[in-house]
Structure formats: structure tokens, C-alpha cells
Amino acid sequence: MTNSHNPEPLTRDNAAVVFVDNQVGLMTGIRDYSIADLKHNIVGLAKAATALGLPIVTTTTSSQTLWGPAIPELLEALPDQTFIDRTTVNAWDDPRVEEAIRATGRSKLIFAGLSLEVCAAFPAMRAVREGFEAYVAVDASGTFNMTKRETALTRLAQAGVVVADGASLMIEILADNASNQAGDVYSALGMDWSILVGQVRESA
């Protein structure tokens, strides 16, 4: 019997990443991470997912009237990506977003969104109800105060969503440090120490 909280590993063939509302206006209210750290984590997740060849879905909400465009750093990291702009609070409730997610053909969905308790949590919980396995990259999903963070984590766990940091999820997918993508993935995640270790090994 499979425990929904200990699912089969993420792989390049079963996983996709969904970035929800990583927008300038929402970023200004983040209080559980520094803005620099949060941007680093979001961009690192995007670059690592790209290096691994994972399907990526990106959305914004009310970008012209409320929360502004996606953060420039994410746009730069995903230059060929189309951001689906919508008005629904839950990204999954927009038929274009649901269609894009289903079109990935993947059964495991990694969500990263601003804010954690709404933009990441709502579609992740819906994904579970729709029969997907859902993950939230917490360190790429900031929020506005610690109460929101703590209650979001509790609610996600109650709903059967796996919570983790984005780097761990990407390294799980990498699976083998002998992979041709290993250097790109570790570099994308900003793990400079891993590059240094490699340099030491090469000079030995």
C-alpha cells in the first residue's frame, strides 16, 4: 500500500514545475524571506528545472490591474516562457492553466508561488483532488507573515501535499551526480560549494 506522503521518487519523466504569480507587486509584501534570498530560490528552481528538461508552466494574476508583471529575474531565466495571465484566485480554476498543466503529461507537479498559502497552496491542493501528486517548493513560495507560513504548511500537509525546498526536489530528479546535467543543476541552485569541491577534486 502506497503512503501518499511518501510517494515514488520524482524523475525527469514524471515531474513538471508550475510557477504561480511570482510578481513584482506580491514580492514587495514578502516577510518570511529576504527578497534577495527568495528571488535566488525562485530563479534557481527555474534554471535547474530547465537544465533537467522538465516541463514548466508559468502564470500571473491580474498583472495589469493589481500585482504587476512577473519578476524580471524569472522572465530572464525563462525567456521563451509564456506567462498565462488570469483573474481567478486559484490558478487551477482558469481553464488555460489547467489545460497547460495537464498537457505536460506529468503525474507529479511541483508548485512555487507568491503567496505560499494561496497561490502555491490552492492549486497544489486541487491537484491532489484531481489525482496528481503535488509538491510545494516552500523556499520559492514566500508569504506575508509567519502565521500565514505556519498555517499554510499545516494545511498543505493535511491535504497530502509534499512540502520541501526546491533544491532538494531538483536534486532528487537529478538522481546521479555523474549525469551530464549535474554541473548545470548545482550551478543553477547556487550551490557554489559544490563547484569548489569539483575544482578541488580536479586539481588533486
Computed from CA positions of residues 27, 32, 35, 40, in that sequence, does the dihedral angle turn out positive or negative?
negative
**What is the rounded distance in angstroms from the CA atom of residue 16 to the CA atom of residue 100?**
11
Helices (H), the chain: 24-27, 35-51, 72-77, 95-103, 121-129, 146-158, 166-174, 182-188, 192-203
Catalytic residue among 56, 100, 119, 171: 119
Is 119 an annotated catalytic residue? Answer: yes
Catalytic residue numbers, as ranges: 119
